[in-house]
Amino acid sequence: MRKQRDQFRKALCLALMLFITGSLLAQNQVTGKITNQSDNQPVAGATIQEKGGAKNGTTSGNDGSFKITVGSNATLVITSIGYAPQEIQVNGRSNISIGLQSVVGGLNEVVVVGYGTQKGPI
């Protein structure tokens, strides 16, 4: 009787370990392309990050393409200078196309101020 109970416990522990490991390793490789929503041109250098505590991220290439490995239910946060940030849910997809909307008037009032002295050669 005791031997059967020990075998049951071992089997239960093994099943739990496999379930937990499978849940943690449920990763999804996502590829895609980031474009400007108004003219459909690629956006190079956009940052794509997994939302939350994960320190997982990448940037888009010159043609706007990217590749990132995230959880199947992850949310991607896409940012780029001159564009409004966007959040996209992966929902198990492996290919996602994202159109970013331009933000107008971000750098209209830049003021450059400099102070200092310079000494010539002696």
Looking at the domain assignment, is residue 120 inside a domain? no
Looking at the domain assignment, is residue 116 inside a domain? no
Q: Which residue do the tokens 């849940």 mark?
A: 23
Q: How many domains would you assign to the chain?
A: 1
Looking at the domain assignment, is residue 105 inside a domain? no
> What is the side-by-side order of every strand in the sheet holding 57-59?
57-59, 47-50, 75-79, 86-89
Domain CATH for 70: 2.60.40.1120
Pair of tokens at residue 110? 């830049």
Looking at the domain assignment, is residue 75 inside a domain? yes
Residue 3: pLDDT band by 50, 70, 90 thresholds?
A: confident
pLDDT in tens, 26-71: 688 999 999 999 999 999 999 999 988 667 899 999 999 999 999 8
pTM as predicted: 0.65
Measured between alpha carbons, how far is 5 from 27 in angstroms, rounded to an integer?
Answer: 35
Bigger pLDDT: 58 vs 6: 58
Looking at the domain assignment, is residue 7 inside a domain? no
